[in-house]
Structure 1
Amino acid sequence: MAKVCPITGKRPMAGNKVSHANNKTRRRWEPNLQWKRIWVPSEKKFVRMRVSARGLRTINKLGVEAALLQAKG
């Protein structure tokens, strides 16, 4: 499964790890994704989602259905 948040669209970033001697090696920064059980009122059941910490804040503020609609555009 891709490491992408369905709410915010956050995905891994690439860059360099730079040592004190200024040697550069490639690395990835992963988004802070967590598996969460989120209650969906319209379906009356829990749904497991791998969502970022920022995505959780958005869900808490808007609700899961509104957050997903906003993410779809």
Structure 2
Amino acid sequence: WKKYRTLGVGKRLVDQAKQWAKEGNMPGIMLETQNNNVAACKFYEKCGFVIGGFDFLVYKGLDIENDEVAIYWYLHFKRE
């Protein structure tokens, strides 16, 4: 999967999601990733998403030993 990074596929997927959300008159897009997925965090920031919150317990429900943190990202559309 690493060979597919930097080919623009993720950007095209995000652009398509933006278009779909705008056509549906949605106010924006929300997504979640883990704090240890640094590449994804950098990518979402580059796409214009901002961090809206953290959840330190969500993954503990799956495994009490899990130290991953959920990061919630938001992209709000400007009203036209």
TM-score (normalised: structure 2):
0.24
Higher strand share: 1
TM-score (normalised: structure 1):
0.26
Higher helix share: 2
